[in-house]
Structure 1
């Protein structure tokens, strides 16, 4: 591994940790001495990487720092291409367009030796059921989740019973035959999943819901026994 590759790997390791990581742990992951690790940290800081911390306390990379997308391995490229193709094939109109544009941007910045890999990958997306139509506009749901806005809608359940709901949306689940909105329901005072094709008369409130979507997602995962991704 060249020093340039090691520095990029060090940044990636720091990005994978939300809390300070000791120098000994970082040095162990990279297979280098502590002295070399401290030298690498100093080099990255001099080049503008927002790494905070010091020897004996640990290091953390402040959120928002972006890596140049030029050092993907072939496995990483195939993973990105496969994911983008799935979204382009199975996502709603806006997500599909975003996936295609993303794939084009990734290809444009790859080194010449790897530029053919996206087109040559042998990982393919299989056929899926017909595109899901009707129900809630997924783009509206995503915007409400990002803005942490309450949603009000009419909902028809599996028994065709209708009810008016006000919910705090915080996640969308994409499945081959359905899309699920995950939210805290004020009516039930609990977490509920709503099939988006059964949602009608949707409106987004100006009012933000009282908790962050990250906190709701974390609590929902704990209730469902779902490990963090």
Structure 2
């Protein structure tokens, strides 16, 4: 592996962690000695990568440093194409359009051979998505999560019983043919999972959720034993 490729791998590893990663772990991941790892860190810092940390404390790549897309590997391109095609086949119109725009931006800066790989990828995604009613509610739910506002919903459960709920939206789960909203329910005083297709009505309120979205998401993950490194 060339040194430039090794430096790129090191950046990729750092970019996938929000918390400091030890020099030993980074050296093992990149297949070099600890001394070489420290030199590589220093080289990246000199090139403008905002890496903070020190031996014994670990290292973290701060947000804002962009990797050059021309360095994407063939399999990384396939992963991006597959993910974007899934989004275009299984989400709402706004996300579909954003996925298409993202691929177009990546294609614009790729060299010719890699651009052809992106445009001719043979990885296909079937459209297994159910039609939500109305579809615009999915985008509205995403907006509410970002804004951190409470929602009033009319919900029909599996026994066809209707209830009125005030909820704090936390996350959206995109499953095969099914969409789930994770939310804190004031009626049940706990996290609940609401199927989008069972929502009769969704009304954003002017009330801000008492706890930030990232705090609620972390609480839900702990409660469900979900580990998330990104």
Contact 1:136-1:199 at 8 Å conserved across structures: no
Rounded Cα–Cα distance in structure 2 between residues aligned with 1:32 and 1:8: 14
User: TM-score, structure 1 length as denominator?
Assistant: 0.90
Matching of residues 71-82 of structure 1 within 5 Å = 71-82=71-82
Aligned to 1:122: 122
Closer/same/farther in 2, CA of residues 225 and 186 from structure 1, 3 Å limit: same
Contact 1:19-1:60 at 8 Å conserved across structures: yes
Aligned to 1:192: 192
Cα RMSD (Å):
2.0
Rounded Cα–Cα distance in structure 2 between residues aligned with 1:150 and 1:68: 39
What are the superposed Cα offsets for residues 133-180 of structure 1, whole Å, 9 maximum, x if unpaired?
A: 327611111011112111112212222222111111111112333211
Contact 1:135-1:198 at 8 Å conserved across structures: no
Matching of residues 1-229 of structure 1 within 5 Å = 1-128=1-128, 131-134=131-134, 137-228=137-228
Deviation at 1:201, TM superposition (A): 3.6
Closer/same/farther in 2, CA of residues 14 and 164 from structure 1, 3 Å limit: same
Closer/same/farther in 2, CA of residues 25 and 135 from structure 1, 3 Å limit: closer
Rounded Cα–Cα distance in structure 2 between residues aligned with 1:19 and 1:93: 34
Unaligned runs of 5+ in 2: none
| SS of equivalent to 1:207 | strand
Q: Which moved more, 1:104-113 or 1:132-141?
A: 132-141
| SS of equivalent to 1:137 | helix
Contact 1:51-1:60 at 8 Å conserved across structures: yes
> Number of paired residues?
229
| SS of equivalent to 1:18 | coil
Rounded Cα–Cα distance in structure 2 between residues aligned with 1:164 and 1:202: 10
User: TM-score, structure 2 length as denominator?
Assistant: 0.90
Unaligned runs of 5+ in 1: none
